[in-house]
Each structure stands twice: as structure tokens, then as C-alpha cells.
Structure 1
Amino acid sequence: MTAGARSWWARRSLRLRLTAAAALVIAAGLASAAVLLVLWLHASLIQGLDTSALQRAEVVAADADTTPAGAEIPAADHGEVAVQIVDRTGTVVASSGNLRGRPRAFFFPASRSSTPRAHTVHGIPVGENGSWRAVGVPAGPDGSPLTVYVAVPTESVDQGLARLTAGLAVGTPAVVVLLTAVVWQLTGRALRPVEVLRAQTAEISASDLGRRLDVPPTADALARLARTLNDLLERLDTATRRQRRFIADAAHELRSPLSALRTRLDVAARHARSPETRALAVSLLRDGERLTRLVDDLLQLARLDDRPRIRTRPVDLDEIVFTAVREARHRTQLPIDQRAVGAARVLGDADALARVVRNLLDNAVRHASSRVTVSLHTQDGTARLVVADDGPGIPAADRERVFERFTRLDDARSRDTGGSGLGLAIARDVVKAHHGRTLVEDNHPGARLVVLLPAQEP
């Protein structure tokens, strides 16, 4: 088998490979059994013909002394038999009716053992000149020895074996197909617990590590595998909870001193005695605000990872967008176009969705060159929110990576826009918790960040 064939075979499902292997074994076994059956039956039937021919030859040999020359030997009761009695010179002394007047048909010497060996002969001028099984036994007195030849046709054996072979040629593939189907069903049933474990494992997310797999009520490898996976999930759950608790506690503890620091820096900026001191205080205040946003984002992510608590109720998404745009206009001088915002109602958490819109607007404002455009409409049961900018855009290779945590593209790093790299990650997690999707499209120039959420029927 070539490397390509081995690679293709390795990619097939375990059920298919087991069934194919079983089908090959079944086919080889049944084919071998069929061949052995035909060979054994052929040998058994030929042996029966040899026995019949020998018995008939012994009967004829017993009466050979009294059989007159040229006499016709009566046929056997069990069917067509060819008989000739030949003297020492090779002259036919007597024969059965079907060989009457025919020349000598047998030329092998008579066997003088207690179990004469039969011969397969052809060309006997009887019937369709098929094959015969013939024996030769000595007869007559020592002074005038004779040889009795008796042959029986193999036509019935050949026809019976031909019918049997044809039946096996049709029946064996049918049995192979039937048994293969049975093996397919049995392997599917045997592998069903594995599929159940796989499906349960696939349903466990990073925020739901407390779930466990169902252990089969057996004492086999599947039960041991399920228990091993449950132990692994337990260790992962413990380590993840410890990490999330640390992040949440650290972020919570940092909020108070950061708030106090910002207050003092604000006071220092207002009452600075020199321009240099005022500029330093303002710069430190901006850094403090940036650090505060980072701590808030970390705390939000810790809460989302722990177990998203989404308060599901009808929410007017367009009102959330209008509010977020008004707040964003206080933080930037760039124009934000909201004329394409239409009515849209979804089921979800208003605070969490407001966080999504704010994060998308903050991202657009940081990267826009001259304007930001916001649109919202409902189509085919889906609310589509688009926040677009005319900045450098997002390369196709990075459109999934921008939603990863602490991801900042090279352009954002060079501009030092103050983003923490967590805003889009939080937006995607919140949208995913609302059974929606986030994606990036081209804006020519710039980028379009799209949020798709299931819309509520009016």
C-alpha cells in the first residue's frame, strides 16, 4: 500500500475500517470454505463413482469365464455403464450394449492390488464423449487371462458440481454483504458509547467545566476512559477556577487604589502650580484611566469565563446603540453617523449588550481616520449591527485573531491608541452568550465589525 493510500485509509472512520476488515475476513473465509466444499464434494462423488465401477467390474469378472465371445454384457441397474472384456492380445471379447461392435476403448493395464486405482478416460464413443471413471481388473484362468474394464460417466457429478459452484458464486457474495451489514450495525452499536462520550465532551465549554461525562455501567475500557476523562475535567475545573478567582480578586482589589489614585491626580492637575506639573498630572491621569479600563475588562472577562449570567428579556437594541453613540461623541471629535440605525429588538441582557456596542465604538474611534458609521437593521429574523471605520482596516489573516484576548495589531501598537486588546474579546464572548456571531468585513477603506443576533418577533 502506498503512502497516499495509507494516509487516505487512516483518515476513514474507525467504524468503516473495522467493518471493511471484517468484510475482508468474512469474504476470504467464505470463499475458502466454498472452494474446500467443492473440492471435497468432488472428491467424495468421484470416489463413489470409482466404488461403483469397481463393484461392477468385480461382478463382471466373476462371470468372465462363462461369458461367450461376442456376448453382450447386461447394463447395470444404476445407470449407464461402459464395459469391455479384453483378452491378452487386446481383442475385445465381450462388451456392454453401448460399446457393441466398437474397438477397444481402454488401454491402461489391469491393477492386481486389492484396491485398484481408477483412471479418468475420455473419448469413449458413448453419449456426448464426456469424461469417465474407469477401472480394470484381471479375470479368467491363468492360461487365458482376461481384463475387465468398467467405466461410469462423470456427467452427473460435473453437472451437480457446476450447479453448486454457480449457487456458491451467487450466494457467497450475498452472504458477505449480509454479514457485512450485520457487522456494520454491531460496530455502530459497540461504538455508540464512544460517540456519546465524544458528544458530551464537545458540549463542555471553558465556562462549563463543572459538567461530567456519563460513565457506562460496565467494567470495560470505555468505563475506564470515561472515569479518566472525568478526572481530567476535575483537575482542569479546579485549576481554571483558581485562575479565574485570582484574576477577579486581583482586579477587584485594584479598583479601589486606582480610583483613589485617579482622584488625587485629578486634584493635582487642577491645583498644579506650574505647567510642567499640570502636564505630568494630566498624563498620569490618562494612564490611570487606561489602567482602570484594563482592570474593568479583566474583571468582566473573569465573570464571563466563570459562568455568563445573561438576564434574558426583550431589549430595544436601537436604543442601546443611540445611547452608546451619544456617550462616544463626548470622547471623540470624529463624526459618528447613526442615520442607518433602524429598530431592532432582541432577547438579552441590556447591560452586556451596551458593553458590546461601547467596545465596538471605542475600537472604531481608535482606528478611524475621519469618520465612524453605525447601522442596524433586522432581516430574516436576525438583527445585524455594523460599526464601520475608514482606518487602515484589518487584514484577512488577522480577522479571527483580533477577537482573541490581548491581541493588538501592529498598527494599533505603533499608534499607541490605548486599547487593552480585550474589548473585542469581551464583545465576542457576550455575543456568543446571546447565541450570536461576530465577524469582520472590508469597508474600502477601513473595517466593518458585524454583530449578528437572533431578533425577537415584533
Structure 2
Amino acid sequence: MMSPAATRRLRLRPRPRHWGIATRSAIVAATVVLVALVVAGAGLTGLLNHYLISGIDEAAATRLYDVTTALRTESPPDVDGALLDTDQRVVAIQILTDDNRVAFGSTDAPNTPLVPVDAVGTKPTRLTGNSVPDDDLRIIGQRVDTPHGSYTVLVAGSSELAETTVQTVALLLCASAPLVIAVVAVATYLLVKRSLRSVDAIRARVAEISTSDLAERVPRPDSHDEIAALADTMNAMLARLETGHNAQRQFVGDASHELRSPLAAIISALDVAQVHPELLDQDLLDTTLIPEAQRMQSLIDDLLLLARADERGLKLRVEDLDLRPVIETEADRLRRGTRLTVHTDVVEARLSGDAQALSRMLRNLADNAARHAHSRIDISSREQDGTLVLIISDDGPGVPQADRLRVFDRFVRLDSDRSRNGGGTGLGLAIVSEIVAAHGGTVTMTDRPGGGTAVSVQLPIRRSSDSSR
């Protein structure tokens, strides 16, 4: 059983999953190099041994051929002495008689036959295994008939030099392998550690960034590698977060400001009524309390709609409908509620969409046009290339070119014409943009011929069976 101290030491020992990336990379690299060196070393020593042994066998076979060739024309004493010389590969040569005696041989050859005569045939015979007296000897022999009688020639090569050479190479490889592995491990560790400095800098900077200050950016290394791409991605994400955070903060501030006005009017009227109860009459209700409460309710409804659109998109109740009656209804409402001339030129336009949402879109566009028109509003629709084009224009002051995209943002008013006193909250066109986008359409603002503003809505004409909603 382990002692408590040993148990504590075991717990404190860092586990592999707690190692850093540089350490793990160095270990993996060292392991790969070790395996590669083992495989390469085994292959190299095997090939080297095969090459050296083949050289010895070839030298012995060549010497055997030369001696047997000389014996066919000359008697053994007349054979060239150079054919019986030995070297590092050929270590012994014997010429045996039929009665198994050594007739002639090299200087270092033993006086007894290396192998029995009957073990050799008339063709070159390689002798291995138990028939060889020494494991280091590689003997090849041949029986040859000459004019002077029959002889058996034995040539012995030694594999000792080859084995020594292979062992030396193996020892050198084993001695150099730890050094190579250590160099690879250290180089890998330092390289990965250096590469991770940029990641550590990015991590440290991200840890310092708070929601109160999203203007900070992570440092980008000068290299053009994956870490630089990570820094670019992080900075792009921070830019989006900053934009979204600023928009949210602006949205909350504008919403609070918009709600403050009707609440202030209602509270002021109630304070007056509390001091002078006789003033709380139908006129105060009709001119102050009810209009301001309705305005606050409308603003809250708009805010809720936009919040739902931001969270998960607008949920549409899609059905096949004809938009022309909806357009005519809005035109009649404008005629009854204003002194403006309202002209319509609409065609039957059946499409797939949410009737309530499209009606709200038309009402917001109509109210926006009525709020800024001097005397006339034109509403027209037509089909074009599978698209319903709806245009609502007014003869008001118009919108500058630079502001025609911005007016579809939230709480945007361009001038005093679009002040709170005019009845607008700055959310109408933003809701129009959300509804049109939910139906797969587009909305743009252009100049009206003759002066004023024209808002063009393009909606795809499709049936509910073709809709993805």
C-alpha cells in the first residue's frame, strides 16, 4: 500500500492531458523520429549486411572459377600462386584429392579438409549449416576432372569482417539516435513555443476586453499563417460584437427616450388632475391621456416585433392572398383621415405571404408618406418577371441620396419633418424592412418624378405550396 506522501507526489505529477502543446508536440516529434530511426536503422543494417555477404560470396565464386579453370589445363603444382593467395574476403583455398587429402592450399588453410569430398558435386556447390565447421565461413566447392586426375576445389570466405562492419554501423546509429532525437525534440519545442507566443498574446488581449470597451483588437503577427488568420477572424468578430453592442446600447437609449415622452405627458396630466380634479374631463382624456397611452402602446408593440425579429426572425402565417384589396383599404383610410389626394393604380396580385404582416407594411409606408407629403400620394403595383412591384410615393421634401439606406435603420429621423411631434417613432421603416426581408423581397427608396420620395417594394410571387415557410 502506498504511503500518503507517495500518493500526494503521484497526484502532483503532471498528467499527459495537462501538458502544454509545445511539450506534447516535442514528445510526438521525438517518438516519430525514434520510430523512423529504428525502422531506417534496421533496414540500413540489413541491406548493408546483405551487400557485404553478397560481396564475399561473389569473391569466393570468382576465385573458385579461376582455380578450376587453371586445373583443367595445368597440374596442381603448376597453378599460378596468385590464385591461392588470400585476403579479407577469401580466407582459405584447398585442392583435395579423391582420397580426401589436401594436395595444395593457401598458406593459412588447415591441413585437414574443410568439408568432406563427397559433399561437393561437379557443379559449384555452396555449403552452409552443419556441414561447415565454423559459422563465420562461407564455403563454395566444385569437383573438377583434369588430365592429371580428379580434384575437389574448396574456397572459403569469412563473414567476420561483414559482421564487424554491420555491428559498427549499428553502434554508431544507436549512439547518434539519442542526439538526433534530443535535437528534434528541443527544436520542435522551441518552434511550437515561439509560434504559440502569438496565441498567448491573443488570449491575453481577449481576456482584457470587457463589454464596456469593445474597441480593443487582438495583436496580429506579421506572418501570413494560420495564427494571423485566427487574429483576423477574432478582430472581425470583435468588430461585429462592437457594432452589435453599440447598436443595442443605442436602441435601448432611443427606446427609453421614446417611452419617456408619452409617460411624461401622461404623468403631467395626472399630476394636474390630482391637484385640480375638476380638470380631469373628457377633453383631457381625448387630447392627452388616451393618445399618449396609445402612442406608448404602439411603440412597445413595435419594439417587441423588432426584438422577436432579431431573436429568431419573424414568424409568418403564410397563405395565398390578393394584395389589391389590402392596398385599396389603406388608400381609403388615408382619404378619410387626411386631406391628401390619394391616387391608386394597382393590379390583381396573388402571392404567398402573411396578410397581417403585409397589411402592417403597407400601413407603415402609407403613414410615412402621409406624414411628409404636401398634397398627393400615389400607390401603384405591377407584376414584373415573377415579382410584385409596389411603389408608394409622395410629393414631400424627399430624402437625400446619402440617407436612403439609413432611413430603414431603427430610430432614424433625418430632420424636423420627422420629429416626434409629427407622430413618428423612427421604427416604421425598420419594421417595413424586416417584413419585406421575411417575405424574401427587397425595399428601396428613390426620387419621385417631379419631386418627393418613392419607396419601392419587390415581393416574389409564389404560392404557399412553394414556400419554405
Give the TM-score category using the shorter length.
0.3 to 0.5
Superposition TM-score, scaled by structure 2 size = 0.45
Superposition TM-score, scaled by structure 1 size = 0.46
| Higher Rg | 2
